Every structure is written in structure tokens, then in C-alpha cells.
Structure 1
């Protein structure tokens, strides 16, 4: 047996007849590409956490499109009273864009290192390094091809502008980049995995509804930061590598690098796997609880203040970073539309993980079969939900409103139900037809190059 990308045990299965015909017998009988590793079932809650993030992500996409004044950090700062109330309260907790994408990046680093930490062999690290690009490229190519087919070849984008104008929505992305040709579309897919700075301005990201595809760029790049760092773990003293990681994290914060979040996720994984973090925390329950709650309270307090009381300070943190990746000096480039690496998000995430990694009840909640089911399909939902909301959702609402806002509430409700159901169905199909085959293909190809 061997572990897959999600940490589950993979049992050997007979190859289908069509595959047996094209794969040499020597390769078909070859051992799995990765060495057998014990599956740490106690960490299955991480898949469930991905499921919760998938729910939060869908809520943000939909509400940014249909009730933008209820979304923290949106450009619609005025609106109905209930939306403003939601903006100043629940939005910070449940559909907060910066907290969602920061959590996704942190969780990725926390999980992709597990196979190596559980089985620190050269085959495990070689397999991870080789397969990462293939595992992400094929699923990412599909939504960009869909965007080209929809926004260039069929629907166009004028209806998005019409909808934004009618509803006075200045938060949604109605000026998405229309790919001029299939070659430009192919190049945009390639650049998602090549651009290293100003990633939010890559053509592929700009052509993607909600312009959140830059997250894939970060997940790809930071994976190799994690791989390059985790190889030292089996060969260094625990105390010294923790001290070194602390310096690394502070430096990454200073230079405004996502390694700030990635290495923190790796450190949490190291503490859990190699230093029995749960037992240490449970032996000091009072201190652990106090530290975790203090960090989360401090992070959320800042977020509520920046949203409800001092929105002008929301981007002030950028002034404390060096502009190593942009200007070479002080970080003076302040583009509020670009993704931000935020200290308030970091405090919330670290505080939450201290609670999560030390609390049996919380881990049991995230092991809920529903959350785990959604978590396994979370990448599929992420890649499809924006397209579905910007096509089916907006088209449905526009047809129901017929140029008037009188039926906007009913249209929004119908759009929510329809986009939710279609996202679940499309995500299921995508998971089985694109996502899982891309993982299996990466394993087969790695086995082939070792033959």
C-alpha cells in the first residue's frame, strides 16, 4: 500500500484492459512509485478542514456577486441595512476572502509534507517534486479552456457589465480578460505555473471569473519551498530547526513572501508528526487554550476594526514590509486589488491550528464524513464555482429581473440554489473525470521514468 495526495492508503488494483495494452508488463508489475508509508488516520481531519474552506469559498464567490455590501473588504461600502450588518459581523468569520485564501495556502503546506514526514525517503521526495506540477496543471487547464469557450466564443462579457451596472455592483469582476485566441489561452495556462511575482495580473488569473486563480500559482510555487525545506527535518536537531524556522518565518514576513505561511504550516506538521504536539498541548491545557484564544482574538479584533471602524487602516500593514519582490526597497506599491499577506489572518490561522491540533473534539468535528467528502472535491469546486456563478447564476438572475430590481431578492435566491446544485454536480464529475485521473497519471508517469 502507499499514500495518495490526500493521505489515504492506496491499495493495488488490477489495471483495466485498455491500460494493460499500452503499459509494458515490467511497468505494470512495478512497485508503487512511492514507498509504503503508514497512514496516520488521526490526521484525516485536515481533509475535512478543506471541505469547510470549500463552503466558505463558495459563499464568498456568491455573495461578492449578488450581495457585495455584505462582504468584508468589498468595494460596495453602502447598501441595505442587513447587508451592512452582515459585513460588520459574520462576513469576517465566514466569507472573508483574505482569511480564506491564506488558510488554503497554509493548509496546503501543512498537508503536502506528510508523506515525506511519515516516510522520509528519497523516493518519497522525488515523487512529490515530480508529480506536483502534473497534479495541478491538468485540472487548472480545464477551467481556463472553459473560460475561453464561454467568454470568447459564446456568451462574451457584455452581460456581466450590464448586470454590474443594473445592480450597482462595483465589487464583482466584470472586466475579465477575454482570450483573443486559443494560443493565448494555452499560454495563459502555462504562465499560471511560471509567473513568480504580480501573480494576480497573469492573463490566466485575469481571464478567470473573480480573478482568484492566482491561488494555484502560489500553491505550486510554495510547494517547492516546502519540499526544499522539509528535506532537512530528518537530519537536524528538533530544537535547532524550530529556532531556524522562526528566523525564516520572520524574514519571510519582512520580505512579503508567502513562505511566511508555508513554512509555518510545515512547522506545525513537523511538531505534530515528530514532536507529539497534541500530547504536549494536552498536558498544558490551560496555557494552550490561553495562547490559542489570545492569538485568534487579536487577529479577529484587528479584522473587525479594519472593516467596521477603521477601513482606512486595512492596507497600512504593507508599509512595514520591504519590497524585495517589487521595488527592491521599502514596499510602497499599495494595490488594494492585489492579494495581501496579512498579520491578522496569520494570527487567526496559527491560533486556530493550536486549538485544532490539540483538541480531540475539534478534530472529530472536522472528520465528519460530509466535510471529508467535500474536502476531497474542494479543488474541483474551487476551479468551477466562479464560472458557474458568473454564467448560470448571473444569467438566471438577469432573466428573472428583466431589467428591474423589483424581483432581485427572488432572483438571488433562485440563483443561489441553482448555482449550488450545479457546482456540487459539476464538481463531482470534475473530481472523477479530471482531478483523480491527473493524480493517477502523475503516479504512472513517475513510475515510468524510474523504469
Structure 2
């Protein structure tokens, strides 16, 4: 068992100060995003939970393709992964070298909107210009000819005022993030993720200021309580606080070395940490597979088990199925995967390869910057 643990984790080491593996992790999600978008357009039946996949025959091959989709181009894991990764990275300038610095926190908060607003404004302007030049009708004709009911014709932005309001609202809406012109006007209708990332940035900023002034044990206990509370009210904050907690334990609590030693069971007997991570990932994937191949009608039942935050004092029984949700299955898959990444030298080395780092630097980047810390706070 010790040999297997050594092969999976490599030598004992502390947190990688360069953080290139986090940029590479972002590049990994970029590849998944491309696969999801490409297949949703040209092979929508291979994308789990897409309308075409729901209508396709339940053959063995089809079930296998949907299972592969869960692993490699899963929409929920992709957007949830970006949200969690954002919280994992934006706090680093404050909790590492400049721990407790007023300038660090003020600068991060001030620059946050600009670092996101400029790329979003440019991207939406380019997309709008291309659709006006080539015609919205082409998208509708393509969808009709290929019987693709999984893609939508983007919302048409006709005036400069509509364009400005579409970009502005992406940084203002606080609920029902998907229902806004800026997201509907963009190919794939996924721009709402920027909205969530921006809003959750302030949850991360407000929470991280206590890190230099509280005991580690208190922060861990407080994080668990915060995650449970945020889960109950169905807020994206339970993803954000989990990302912040991962950054805290990796940077300030020597988590990587402790995890590589294993979990103490009895005296000198230790359970390899990766077994726990495998169980967490397996639990999430099992839920995903059940909702796809066995009981798809129960997929959204977990959403009911939350407080109805905006409209009732009871359970969340009247939720909008069209809205993206902070889901338990996505959370478990990502939590287990991120724990692997945080503690495995092999995975960190793989994620820090030049290709993934390059893709990570180019994603939502307004400049060609080579400073890792500056790049991280752009997401």
C-alpha cells in the first residue's frame, strides 16, 4: 500500500509557490468547455442532459456515450469547476506574501470588476458583430436541418444601449443568473458564469480577511458550518467557501505534506488519503450516472431539499429547472478531484505542463502577462 501511495503522490513536499498547476487546471477546464460546446453543436446526443440526448434511444452505446460525457464534457462540472477554482485563486495574493495587507485586499477588490468587465465587453461585442455580419438566421437554419434542439438562436443585440445594458447587468444580477440578455446573446448561453464568479468574489473577499487573525482550527470549523448553511439556502457560496478553504489549508496549514502521510487510524496504521478522495469522486459520479442512465426523472429532486430563499419559508419546491444549480453531485466530483490536485505531486506536475498553462493564461485574459499571481486574480 505504501508503494502505491508513493506512486500516486510522489515525494513529500509543500505547496507549490508558483501555482502554475492552478493555471493549468484552468486550462484543463478550457479543453472540457471546448469539447462540450463542439459536441453540443455537432453531436448533441452525446452530451448528457441535452434535449437531444433525452430524446435519443436508450441503447447500450448511447448510455456509454452519455457516461463518457459525464467524465469529459459535463456542463455542470465545467461551470461549477470554474466557480470553485475562482475562489481557490483570487484569495492567494492576500493570504500568501501580502497576508493581511490593506493594499492587497483593496487592490484586488478595485481591479476585480475591470479584469472581468473588459474581456466580457470585448467578447460580447465580437460575438454580436459576427452574428450581425453572418446572420442569426444561419444558426436557426443549421439547427433545423440537423434536428438539433439543444442549441438556441442567440438573442439579437440591436443598439449600443442594449449592448451596454447587457454587459452591465452581467455584473449586477444577483439571482436567476441565466435569465439575462448578456448570456442569451452569447454563443452557448454560458456568459452567466461570469456573473456568478463576480458576485461570489465578494463572498470570498469578505471571508478571507479573517484568515490572518483567527486560529486554523477555528477557520476549519467555521468553514464547515458556512458550507452547510450556504448549501441549505442553495447559494453558490458553498462552492466559493470550499475554494477559499482549499487555498487556506494548502497555503497556511501544510495540508499537502499532512495528506501525503495519510490519515491516522490507530497508532502507526495510516489510511492513504487518496482512498477518501476516490470515495468522494465515486459518490458524485455514481449520482451523475444514476440521473443519466437509470432515474433521470429524479435528477432535480435534490434541489427541493433546500430552503426556498426568495419566495417561501418552506422547501425549494418551486425552483426554475432552466436555471443552472449548485448541485451535490457536481460538488462531490469537484471536491474529490481538487483534493487529489492539492496533494499529488504527479497531478500538479501534469497540470503545470506548458500547453495547459498556455490555455489557462489565454482564458478570459485581457493581456499577455507572465506573472502567475497576476494571472490568477483575473479569474
Tell me the TM-score range normalised by the shorter chain.
0.7 to 0.9
CA contact (8 A) 1:321 1:330 kept: yes
Aligned residues: 350
Q: Quick one: which of 156, 162, 170 aligns to 2:135?
A: 156
CA contact (8 A) 1:226 1:263 kept: yes
The aligned residue for residue 182 of structure 1 is 160
Q: Quick one: which of 313, 327, 342 aligns to 2:298?
A: 313
The aligned residue for residue 83 of structure 2 is 105
* Cα displacement string for residues 123-163 of structure 1 (whole angstroms, at most 9, x for unaligned residues): 11111010000000011001221233233x33332221111
Q: TM-score scaled by structure 1?
A: 0.73
The aligned residue for residue 152 of structure 2 is 173
1:42 deviation in Å? Answer: 4.8
**How far apart, in 1, do the equivalents of 2:312 and 2:65 lie?**
34
Question: Which deviates the most, 54-63 or 284-293?
Answer: 284-293
User: Is the aligned partner of 1:238 residue 2:216?
Assistant: yes
CA contact (8 A) 1:67 1:83 kept: no
Q: Which has the higher contact order (CA 8 A, sep 6+)?
A: 2
Q: Secondary structure at the match of 2:364?
A: helix
For structure 1, the 5+ residue unaligned runs are 1-38, 381-429, 444-451
User: Is the aligned partner of 1:69 residue 2:48?
Assistant: no
Judging by fraction of residues, say which structure has more helix.
1
- After the TM superposition, which residues 362-377 of structure 1 pair with which residues of structure 2 at under 5 Å, given as runs? 362-377=347-362
- After the TM superposition, which residues 22-421 of structure 1 pair with which residues of structure 2 at under 5 Å, given as runs? 41-76=17-52, 77-79=54-56, 84-118=62-96, 119-120=98-99, 121-151=101-131, 153-174=132-153, 176-284=154-262, 286-325=271-310, 327=312, 329-379=314-364
**How far apart, in 1, do the equivalents of 2:275 and 2:324 lie?**
31
1:82 deviation in Å? Answer: 8.8
**How far apart, in 2, do the equivalents of 1:201 and 1:257 lie?**
17
For structure 2, the 5+ residue unaligned runs are 1-14, 264-270
**How far apart, in 2, do the equivalents of 1:327 and 1:87 lie?**
39
* Cα displacement string for residues 191-237 of structure 1 (whole angstroms, at most 9, x for unaligned residues): 11011111101111111111100000011111111000000000011
**How far apart, in 1, do the equivalents of 2:210 and 2:195 lie?**
25
Q: Secondary structure at the match of 2:150?
A: coil
**How far apart, in 1, do the equivalents of 2:174 and 2:156 lie?**
22
Q: Secondary structure at the match of 1:200?
A: coil
* Cα displacement string for residues 333-377 of structure 1 (whole angstroms, at most 9, x for unaligned residues): 333321111101111111112211111111111111111111111
The aligned residue for residue 416 of structure 1 is none
CA contact (8 A) 1:197 1:325 kept: no
Question: Post-superposition, which runs of at least 4 consecutive aligned residues in structure 1 deviate over 6 A?
Answer: 80-83
* Cα displacement string for residues 54-94 of structure 1 (whole angstroms, at most 9, x for unaligned residues): 00000001101110000011011244869724533210000
CA contact (8 A) 1:70 1:85 kept: no
CA contact (8 A) 2:261 2:272 kept: no
RMSD (Å), alpha carbons: 2.3
**How far apart, in 2, do the equivalents of 1:377 and 1:64 lie?**
23
The aligned residue for residue 7 of structure 2 is none
Question: Which entry has the higher C-alpha Rg, 1 or 2?
Answer: 1
Q: TM-score scaled by structure 2?
A: 0.87
**How far apart, in 2, do the equivalents of 1:236 and 1:250 lie?**
20
